[in-house]
Amino acid sequence: MRSTWRTPGGSSNWLRNFGGVNIRDIALVCLADALVGASFGAISVAAGLPLWLPVVMSLVVFAGSSQFIFVGILAAGGNPVAAVASALLANTRLVPLGFSIGEVFQNLSPIKRLLGTHLITDEAVAFSVSEKDEVSRRTAFWLCGIGLFVTWNIGVVIGTLGGGAITDTAALGLDAAFPAILLGLIMPALRDKATRTAALLGAGVALVASMFLPSGLPVLLALIAVVPAMLSTAPVAPKESA
């Protein structure tokens, strides 16, 4: 019986039956996402926002960090315009992420591309770029993106209806779930020296910047670390012989 589970193509591979994508890992991320979504819904209601606002925001915006920033500023008595501006600023980090998975959107209709851009998240991109071939990367992106969209919105509805039952993700350790998962996903890529250097430099820049800049800006500033990595890996033109 043990040999059955170890045989390639056997029943142990049912967790990797969508283009070679690990469904179990995606499911775990979606579960964590649902719990954080429930927290967001509960926090929004506790802050005095109408029940429909977090639900509609999650469907239209679908950006967890930006949504938390928006609600946090409003809950602290901030200006709605400032809340929207801060949320948009934090969400601009998704622009370079979108470029990194450009091949996922090749040969798609405009409607599918629009849907795909709405599903771009840190987790979906991380799963996509960790795959080795184009088919697996595309499958990972759509599975993770759609899975996160569904579970996040279900969590938000549950949290909104549940009121203030869950008010602090840090108390349950959920605030560390996504960083830990993403770190695990990028670990294999750190074997490459240029990638490892860029990651360390970016982490250092973000750490220092977080002491002086508001939330969202340190991550954007950390993208500076990509420049030396690109320059170090750029092909050198051969010299012409005299």
Give CA 140 to chain center in angstroms. Answer: 13
This prediction's pTM: 0.65
Q: 3 pLDDT band (50/70/90 cuts)?
A: very low
pLDDT at 119: 87
- Is the pLDDT assigned to residue 140 strictly greater than 90? no
As a whole number of angstroms, the distance between CA 98 and CA 104 comes to 9
Q: 150 pLDDT band (50/70/90 cuts)?
A: very high
21-34 tens-digit pLDDT: 678 888 888 888 88
Q: What is the pLDDT averaged over residues 63-68?
A: 80
- Is the pLDDT assigned to residue 68 strictly greater than 70? yes
182-221 tens-digit pLDDT: 566 567 667 777 778 888 888 888 888 888 876 656 766 7
pLDDT at 19: 55
Q: What is the pLDDT averaged over residues 210-235?
A: 68
- Is the pLDDT assigned to residue 14 strictly greater than 50? no
Q: 242 pLDDT band (50/70/90 cuts)?
A: very low
45-58 tens-digit pLDDT: 877 788 898 899 89
